[in-house]
Structure 1
Amino acid sequence: AYVEQDLHEIYQGEVRYARDAFEGLRLMDALMAVKRGIPGAALPELKQRRVKAAAAVRNTEQLPAEGPRRSDVATDNPVPTPPFLGTRVVKGIPLKEYASWLDEGALFKGQWGLKRDVIDSVGRPRLRLWLDRLRTENLLEAAVVYGYFPCVSKDDDLIVLDEQGNERTRFTFPRQDRGRRLCLADFFRSEESGQVDVVGLQVVTVGSRIGEATAGLFETDAYRDYLELHGLSVQLAEALAEYWHARVRAELGIGVHDPAGLDGMLRTQYQGCRYSLGYPACPDLEDRGKIADLLRPERIGVELSEEFQLHPEQSTDAIVVHHPEASYFNAGGRP
């Protein structure tokens, strides 16, 4: 609605919103059909803004001026002992190690825009074709840099320490303004407790070759192949991140709580949580600079742009939290 109402009113040309590249192609097809004067051709109706009554009421609620500095998150959970402190680099991870972590639902429906009735007849054969091509053309350079760091929390801050107990850097996270008033810092021992906690950090990438291959497809107007390979590369990076997160949980000794099947894994039915920068609990992308300083991801070919974007695009970073109550939440309101 922001694009198709607010921007539409001030932009002199035609402006439309597409939720993904496939919808963008459909919009362009409709636009060209209108331009060519094809009978019956028309653009979809503009999206209308919908504000739920309950949401409108909540917006008028008086927010509390102050609340507890810390939520009710447990503070007596065991702190695991990491296998090492500092960082390690792992390169050359075979595709077979993390391909089983691929979220096919997100790939077929989200990235490729396939309907359920063609997933078996179209989606899976295309996936097998692409995986074979990735192997034969050696387009993947899967690598990880990760580490464990001593830390404590203070109010909304997570303070990363050096091995002598001095502050190395700190992250400041938003706190919910109602409900449990959760904040990511709450999942770590407080500075006042006198105990030291541990936080995991990771950056994973499937390398730059696959990005170069997708760019080549785009330049030759092979748009279907481009969209499929690009979507697959993004999901493979996510699969690698899930795979390595499981490795971290195992190293911290909390992997015993992992579910048996992939579906349970993708529903985060395990102890611990992986928070990627830019999401509600840790929205500040500038924090990527702090992670980069700690992990030095250039060792696996990952650079940080001036806009705090990871390059190659098929890379992800994360803060790994071991606390049994850690879960995804919206820091702007109720869980």
Structure 2
Amino acid sequence: MILHYDIQDIVPYINWLYFYHAWSMNGKSETAKLQLRKDAEEMLRTWEGCYHTHAVFGLFDANSDGDDLILGDKRLPMLRQQKPKKPGYPNLCLADFVRPVGKGKDKVGVFATSVDAELQKAYLHDDYQRMLSQVLADRLAEGTAEKMHEEVRRNYWGYAPNERLTMEQTHNEQYQGIRPAVGYPSLPDTSINFILNELIDMKGIGIRLTESGMMTPHASVSGLMLAHPGSCYFELGRIGADQINDYARRRGLPVELIRRFLKGV
């Protein structure tokens, strides 16, 4: 399903803490932060009616098979945490939060969000305005993922129909389930986007993939939606050679190619 949003629909979902972080505003005066926020909100007002944000998602019958997710007829290999958060904790994998094969059907969501590509080309002759627009575009793509996920939980998937959260609670992820994004600590391999694209066709909202699976426009987000009440975010940690080899086998790709995809992990 494809959803389109006006800028004003997404502004309430912007997490301004991450906006300030992108500008390295930690420790700066409140006056400086307020001026930056004022400039950002003014820019957002000029975009209303001119630009839009977009989301595409699909909900798939799913199961886990070891460290793999099976979504419809696609197999999506996952990576397992190398070192638990604390002694005695399990080494987590996203597949742990989906019902195993033979235990009945489960469901997993796949999504991508983006902004109008033209928005990324604005203000090319003004460094401050260009950076401001780029950071806001990133925040709008993330805010679109937040709003889309809320609608999925409450309506489209409907596993939390009575959910009532403040925006602060939403930004603190106090809802049931998680929305791990590609490129983040539990899902670092951007080449997974090639498989996700086969499931939801990102071109429908203007997203194109590079040779490594990076998305353009840059202000785009993709990932999974999991509903398990015990699901949580985690970092994989440094990936060992044994897991790289196993992951390459499950992906059906050369080990050296997988090493390039996982560079820095």
Which category of TM-score, normalised to the shorter sequence, fits these structures?
0.7 to 0.9
Higher relative CO (Cα under 8 Å, sequence separation at least 6) belongs to 2
Alignment of 1:160-239 (within 5 A): 160-161=71-72, 167-178=73-84, 179-193=89-103, 195-213=104-122, 217-218=123-124, 220=125, 222-239=126-143
TM-score by length of 2: 0.81
**Which runs of no fewer than 5 residues in structure 2 stay unpaired?**
239-265
Contact 2:53 2:140 in 1 (8 A): no
Query: How many angstroms does 1:284 deviate by?
Result: 1.6
Contact 1:176 1:183 in 2 (8 A): no
Matched residue SS, 1:322:
coil
Q: Does 1:154 align with 2:65?
A: yes
Contact 1:174 1:183 in 2 (8 A): yes
Query: How many angstroms does 1:134 deviate by?
Result: 1.0
Distance 1:198 1:224, change over 3 A: same
- Across the two proteins, how many residue pairs are aligned to each other? 231
Alpha-carbon distance in structure 2 between the residues aligned to 1:234 and 1:282: 19
TM-score by length of 1: 0.65
Q: Output the amino acid matched with 2:106.
A: D
Contact 2:182 2:222 in 1 (8 A): yes
Match of 1:10 in 2: none
Query: How many angstroms does 1:105 deviate by?
Result: 1.7
Match of 1:320 in 2: 225
Alpha-carbon distance in structure 1 between the residues aligned to 2:215 and 2:38: 31
Alignment of 1:3-22 (within 5 A): none
**Which runs of no fewer than 5 residues in structure 1 stay unpaired?**
1-87, 162-166
Distance 1:283 1:202, change over 3 A: same
Q: Does 1:331 align with 2:236?
A: yes
Alpha-carbon distance in structure 2 between the residues aligned to 1:294 and 1:141: 23
Contact 1:189 1:196 in 2 (8 A): yes
Runs of 4+ in structure 1 displaced over 4 angstroms?
Answer: 256-259
| Greater Rg over alpha carbons, structure | 1
Distance 1:231 1:154, change over 3 A: same
Correspondence for 1:294 among 199, 217, 225: 199
Distance 1:272 1:310, change over 3 A: same
Q: Output the amino acid matched with 1:282.
A: L
Match of 2:176 in 1: 271
